[in-house]
Each structure stands twice: as structure tokens, then as C-alpha cells.
């Protein structure tokens, strides 16, 4: 782990991505301290221009809500959705892939057909349909995005398990009478996970963008502020106040770019490279 961290610190992509994500995480953690009130509350005159009121550094939107408060609290929502979706998708994919790879036969075939069925439908359309039926709330949105993201980890874990299950230490565990579930959790899964973790960056970035798109379409959680809903609100006055869409848009770009760069740096570090140059 120390070697991987050392290689990551020598990777320009990894360092840049880590700095961006640390900044965004600091924004998310500082949001309740700097803006303790409700970010959706009306706090001033509508359409206050940026840098004209010290109490409202980024101005207000059409309803008089603080843009800076929305930006800070929106970082919380985006990071929460991204990380929670990755956790759910990786957990579900790892379990399905492990069971399919170890069981083989009809169980493997049935589970892989389920994976194929989910992969046929684009992830965004699946999330859109699920949220439209189940209702717009943060847990539902996280589950909806995870429904389209777990298939990649499942296939990758299955491929790793098919290779690992034939190795000597797994055979030795069977010989000494270890329970199949114990073999899966203690011997197989820990060795199958490292390649799958490389997908985390892709899943997090995709989740952030899908959540923003759902909020932009009016299918986000109405009780929380999101960058997608801020962009949607700003599009109505894009010609006279473009900053209302540009500011949260930059937040989205920074988040996705940070996750991508950190993922590239981690991939290089785990492969033993100092960087791509």
C-alpha cells in the first residue's frame, strides 16, 4: 500500500486528481459550517449579481437563493451520490460475479443472462425509468444509478474468479474442508477485487453526471440542492445571468475531471508505473 501511495504521489495525473477531490471534499465538509441554513431558502433580492453583496458573494438566483450556498451543498450531494453508487454497484457486482464464477454451470449461465439483460438497457434510461416509477429521492436515485453500473464489476469479478478458483491455495482450502462460502469470502474475493477497484473512478464519475442529468430534467430530490438542478434553474435566464449555470457546471467538470485523473494515477500506481510519460 505504501508503494502504491508513493507511486501515486509521483504521478502528475494522480496528484492533480487528488488535489481537485480534496478541494471538493473540503467544500462539502465546510458547507454546513459556512452556510448552516437551508441552501434552498430565500435569502435576498432575486438575481443579485455576483460580488455586489459581501453576504452573497456569488449572488442569488431567480428566487433569491444563495448561489454560493447551493454550490457548497451541491458538492455534498454529488460526492454522496458518486461514492454511494460506487459502493452499491461494486458490492452487488462482486457478489454476483463471485457466485457465478465459483458455482459455474446453470447458476453461472442464469446470472450472466441477468447481467446481459441489464446491459441491454442504457444506464441513464434505466435510471430515468426507475426514478419515474419509484419517485425522486436521494436513496432511490442512488439505487437507480447503481442498477446500470453493477454489471461491469460483475463481469470482471467473474473473470477473475474463474482464474483464481483453479489455483493451489483454493484447492488446498477445499481439501481441508473449508466451507464454500468461507472460501469465497476469504480466499477468492479478496484476490479478485483489486482489478475491479479500477472501475470505481468510472462509476463515480458516471453517477455524478447521471444524477446531474436527472436533476436537470426535474427528477432529482426536491429536498436537496444539486448542481444539476442549479444548471436547470439557470438555463431560464442564461442570456442575462449565465453564471447561474456556469458556476455549478464548473463544479461538475471539476468533480468528473478529478475522479478521472485520480483513477488514471491509481491505475498507473497499481501497475507499477511512475506515470504515463
Percent of the chain residues past pLDDT 90, beyond the cut: 57
pLDDT tens profile 88-130: 999 999 999 989 988 888 999 999 999 999 999 899 999 999 9
210 C-beta neighbours (distance < 10 Å), count = 25
44 C-beta neighbours (distance < 10 Å), count = 14
pLDDT tens profile 231-240: 998 988 989 9
Q: 2-270: which CATH architecture?
A: Orthogonal Bundle (1.10)
pLDDT of the residue at 4? 64
Using alpha carbons, select from 225, 104, 199 the residue that is nearest to residue 146.
199
pTM of the full predicted structure? Answer: 0.85
pLDDT of the residue at 35? 92
Q: Using alpha carbons only, how large is the chain's radius of gyration in Å?
A: 22
CA distance 8 to 38: 38
Q: Which of 78-87, 183-192, 252-261, 268-277 has the lowest mean pLDDT?
A: 268-277
pLDDT tens profile 60-78: 999 999 999 999 999 999 8
Structural domain spans, the chain: 2-270
Alpha-helical regions (H) of the chain? 2-9, 12-34, 67-103, 105-120, 123-134, 138-147, 151-164, 168-175, 180-182, 189-197, 200-216, 227-235, 243-270
Amino acid at each position: 500500500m505504501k508503494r502504491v501511495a508513493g507511486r501515486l504521489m509521483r504521478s502528475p495525473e494522480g496528484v492533480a486528481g487528488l488535489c481537485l477531490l480534496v478541494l471538493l471534499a473540503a467544500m462539502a465538509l465546510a458547507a454546513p459550517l459556512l452556510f448552516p441554513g437551508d441552501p434552498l431558502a430565500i435569502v435576498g433580492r432575486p438575481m443579485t449579481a455576483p460580488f455586489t453583496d459581501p453576504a452573497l458573494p456569488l449572488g442569488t438566483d431567480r428566487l433569491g437563493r444563495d448561489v454560493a450556498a447551493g454550490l457548497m451543498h451541491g458538492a455534498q450531494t454529488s460526492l454522496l451520490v458518486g461514492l454511494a453508487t460506487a459502493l452499491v454497484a461494486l458490492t452487488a457486482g462482486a457478489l454476483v460475479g463471485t457466485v457465478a464464477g465459483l458455482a459455474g454451470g446453470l447458476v453461472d449461465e442464469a446470472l450472466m443472462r441477468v447481467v446481459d439483460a441489464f446491459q441491454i438497457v442504457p444506464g441513464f434510461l434505466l435510471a430515468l425509468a426507475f426514478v419515474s416509477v419509484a419517485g425522486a429521492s436521494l436513496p432511490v436515485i442512488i439505487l437507480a444509478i447503481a442498477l446500470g453500473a453493477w454489471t461491469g464489476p460483475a463481469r470482471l469479478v467473474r473473470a477473475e474468479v474463474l482464474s483464481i478458483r483453479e489455483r493451489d491455495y483454493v484447492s488446498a482450502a477445499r481439501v481441508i474442508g473449508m466451507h464454500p462460502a468461507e472460501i469465497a469470502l476469504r480466499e477468492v474475493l479478496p484476490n479478485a477485487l483489486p482489478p475491479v477497484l479500477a472501475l470505481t473512478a468510472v462509476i463515480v464519475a458516471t453517477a455524478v453526471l447521471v444524477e446531474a442529468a436527472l436533476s436537470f430534467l426535474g427528477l432529482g430530490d426536491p429536498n436537496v440542492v444539486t448542481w444539476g438542478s442549479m444548471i436547470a434553474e439557470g438555463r431560464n435566464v442564461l442570456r442575462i445571468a449565465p453564471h447561474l449555470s456556469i458556476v455549478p457546471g464548473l463544479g461538475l467538470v471539476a468533480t468528473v475531471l478529478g475522479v478521472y485523473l485520480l483513477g488514471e494515477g491509481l491505475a498507473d500506481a497499481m501497475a507499477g508505473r511512475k506515470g504515463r510519460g
